[in-house]
Amino acid sequence: MTKEKIAIVKIGGNIIEDEVVLKQFLQSFSKLEGKKILIHGGGKRATQFASKLGIASKMVDGRRITDKETLEVITMVYGGLVNKKIVAQLQANNTDAIGLTGADINSIQSEKRPVKEIDFGFVGDVTQVNHHGIDTLMTAGFTPVFCALTHDGNGQLLNTNADTIASQIAIGMSEIYATSLYYCFELKGVLNDIKDKESVIQKINSKTYQELLAAGTISAGMLPKLENCFDALQKGVQEVLIGNTTLLSKENNLHTKITL
Amino acid sequence: MTKEKIAIVKIGGNIIEDEVVLKQFLQSFSKLEGKKILIHGGGKRATQFASKLGIASKMVDGRRITDKETLEVITMVYGGLVNKKIVAQLQANNTDAIGLTGADINSIQSEKRPVKEIDFGFVGDVTQVNHHGIDTLMTAGFTPVFCALTHDGNGQLLNTNADTIASQIAIGMSEIYATSLYYCFELKGVLNDIKDKESVIQKINSKTYQELLAAGTISAGMLPKLENCFDALQKGVQEVLIGNTTLLSKENNLHTKITL
């Protein structure tokens, strides 16, 4: 039996920052036919609010530490401000959206990252995606909109990377659906030369990925995203594309397609 | 045919402030049998965060004005921080909660309050409760948790009184269910003497309400709550009780029962 199609779409922080770009993007998302799920981060808004509240961003080896106060800001900004604004805009587009964290309908459980050299604080690594629960919402006609928060099942919310949430949801949904995963961000795709925005690498597979890695072509920021892409493909996701906000429109002809 | 029962429970700001009290309350809520919906405000947390962010609370004639910045804070605190913490705690109690604003599944539409003598800003008066949508979630086994935000259907979130949201949801659900509405706050009920916390008026009906009003017994803060109670009863809600956090437990024997 052919599986029904589903689109899992992740939007990055720079799209959320710009109200005009976000609005246009959400219109493209609403026009996308069939079942779909949106995942967003919060990006700079959280840092801005933390700074206004006098909470310093704590970084260790270039990675953010989520202490109790930072988790509160993230819960407010990701789960409240950004998520609900997106839901309200999608409703205006006649997309019957429902905003979720991993705690809602126990959709994404995670465990607090164990303390090794670094204590990341309230950061969760995904352990389980409740794809049946999420499917129940979609079958009822609702379009889930996830922010980058999960929970441990014992009452604790945890900060989880939005790219990872997207790939984990895509993997979970691929049990039921033929799943496409779209990573939309400010660039047209993975670049050969970070200074040339047009130098999009149109196809990357496991072999060429290793070559790009060896050549130092992939920027540090792209590494975790690409690891998520390959993880998704290895675990049943059918299609993974990386591109800018035009990725969802039929006119788009420049993006990066990841294959195994 | 006898309608199935449902409990609509609203908790006030003072319960949310105190983590221990909130935890105990949520355990009582989780133990409540049958279908149920929780509604919460955000109270002082929003004022505290607004103050920390340097946003002054604007009051006209003792009533808060919701400007753009205040709405953002409310969206963060009510829709993010408070709502998602409650959802995560309920999940830990094995209650399969789902946090909602009025924008999610278009559950509560409102219209921005018209400007007359006072411009209240981004405040919404409820125009429609999507009781079928809410029922779809409950029939799927989910327990809705609403915060005090609605939307206008055109992409704008609006601040709406949580007591009113509770009565409007109760009215909406009474089309399908035999509905009980519980207002839980810091007092044991409506008091005869504001200085005597034990002076609970155990029964108030339309006639005695008018007498209490004439005698000036009802405090200004209780008036809108009681108006919501009578509105709910007049529009099909079967039972309305006001009390403290013990209201949901079988041991509770002191509260105010409102009847027509």
Reported confidence tier of residue A219, pLDDT bands at 50, 70, 90: confident
Instruction: Say if B51 is an interface residue toward chain A (CB within 8 Å).
Output: no
Measured in angstroms, the CA of A13 and the nearest CA of chain B are apart by 17
Mark yes or no for CB contact A81/B80 under 8 Å. Answer: yes
Lowest mean pLDDT among A47-51, B55-59, B120-124, B134-138: B55-59
Contact A84 B101 (CB under 8 A): yes
Give pLDDT, residue B239.
Answer: 97
* Predicted pLDDT of residue A62: 67
Distance between terminal CA atoms of chain B? 24
- pLDDT band (50, 70, 90) for residue A205: very high
In chain A, residues with a C-beta closer than 8 Å to the C-beta of B52 are 52-54
pLDDT above 90: residue B46: no
User: Is the pLDDT reported for residue A127 higher than 90?
Assistant: yes
Cβ of residue B146 closer than 8 Å to a chain A Cβ: no
Q: Give the model's pLDDT for residue A259.
A: 97
Q: Which pLDDT band holds residue B123 (cuts at 50, 70, 90)?
A: very high
Q: What percent of chain A has pLDDT over 70?
A: 100
Indicate the average pLDDT of chain B. 94
> Is residue B182 within 8 Å of B255, Cβ to Cβ?
no
- Taking residues B24-35, what's their average pLDDT? 96
Say how far apart CA A238 and CA A216 lie, in whole Å. Answer: 27
Please return the burial class of B65, using the count of CB atoms within 10 Å of its CB with bins 0-12, 13-18 and 19+.
middle
Which stretch, A61-65, B51-55, B124-128, has highest mean pLDDT?
A: B124-128
CB–CB of B151 and A98 under 8 A?
no
> Cβ of B101 and A98 within 8 Å?
no
On average, the pLDDT of chain A sits at 94
Query: How far, in Å, CA of B257 to CA of B260, rounded?
Result: 10
Q: Which of A43-52, A203-212, B90-99 has the weakest average pLDDT?
A: A43-52
A79 and B81 within 8 Å at the Cβ level: the answer is: yes
* Rounded CA separation A208/A257 (Å): 12
Which residues of chain A have a CB within 8 Å of the CB of B76? Answer: 49, 76-77, 80-81
Q: Which domains does chain A have, with CATH numbers?
A: 5-186+245-254 (3.40.1160.10)
Six-digit token string for A10: 């992740």
Give, for B100, the enclosing helix (H) or strand (E).
strand B97-100
Q: What is the pLDDT of residue B59?
A: 78
**Which pair of tokens denotes residue A56?**
């310093």
C-alpha distance from A153 to closest chain B C-alpha (Å)? 5
Nearest to B119 by CA among B47, B67, B184: B67
pLDDT at residue A150 greater than cutoff 90: yes
| Strand ranges, E, within chain A | 5-11, 35-40, 58-60, 63-65, 97-100, 108-112, 124-129, 143-146, 149-151, 157-159, 178-184, 203-204, 239-243, 256-258
Residues 6+ apart with CB under 8 A from A61: A118
Which of B53, B104, B149 minimises the CB distance to A53? B53
- Cβ distance A155 to B88 less than 8 Å, yes or no, reads yes
Encoded amino acid at B7, one letter:
A
- Decide if B77 touches A, using CB distance below 8 A: yes
Alpha helices in A174-218 (DSSP H): 206-215
Give the number of other CB atoms < 10 A from CB of residue B260.
11
Look at residue A199 and tell me whether its pLDDT is greater than 90: yes
Question: Are the beta carbons of A49 and A77 closer than 8 angstroms?
Answer: yes
Give residue A44's pLDDT. Answer: 82
Q: How far apart are CA A122 and CA A113, in angstroms?
A: 8
Q: List all residues 6 or more positions away from A235 whose beta carbon is below 8 Å from its beta carbon.
A: A171, A174
CA angle B180, B182, B183 (to 5 degrees): 155
* Tokens encoding A21: 């770009």
A54 close to B (CB below 8 A): yes
Chain B residues closer than 8 Å to A157 by CB: 84-85, 88
**Which residues, other chains included, contact B163 with Cβ-Cβ below 8 Å and sequence gap of 6+?**
B10, B183, B224, B225, B228
**In this predicted structure, what is the pLDDT of residue B60?**
77
Q: Is B106:A96 a contact under the CB 8 Å cutoff?
A: yes
Q: What is the pLDDT of residue B45?
A: 85
Give mean pLDDT, residues B168-175: 98
Cβ(B223)–Cβ(B214) below 8 Å: no
Structure letter (DSSP) for residue B66 = B
pLDDT at A238 over 90: yes
Tell which residue, A257, A249, A252, has the closest CA to residue A26: A249
Report in angstroms the alpha-carbon separations of A51 from A73, A199, B53, B71: 10, 35, 10, 19
Could you report the per-residue pLDDT of A31-87, keeping only the tens digit for each? 999 999 999 988 788 888 899 888 987 877 767 799 999 999 999 999 999 999 999
Instruction: Find the range with the poorest average confidence among A179-183, B4-8, B107-111, B249-253.
Output: B249-253
The helix (H) or strand (E) run that includes residue A72 is: helix A68-74
Question: B76 vs A77: CB contact, 8 Å cut-off?
Answer: yes
Q: Does B134 touch chain A (CB under 8 A)?
A: no
Query: How distant is the Cα of A169 from the closest Cα of chain B, in angstroms?
Result: 18
Prediction ipTM score: 0.96
- The tokens 């303390």 sit on which residue? A115
Beta-strand relationship, B124-129 and B108-112: antiparallel
- B104 to chain A, closest Cα gap in Å: 4
Residue B185, SS3 per DSSP: coil
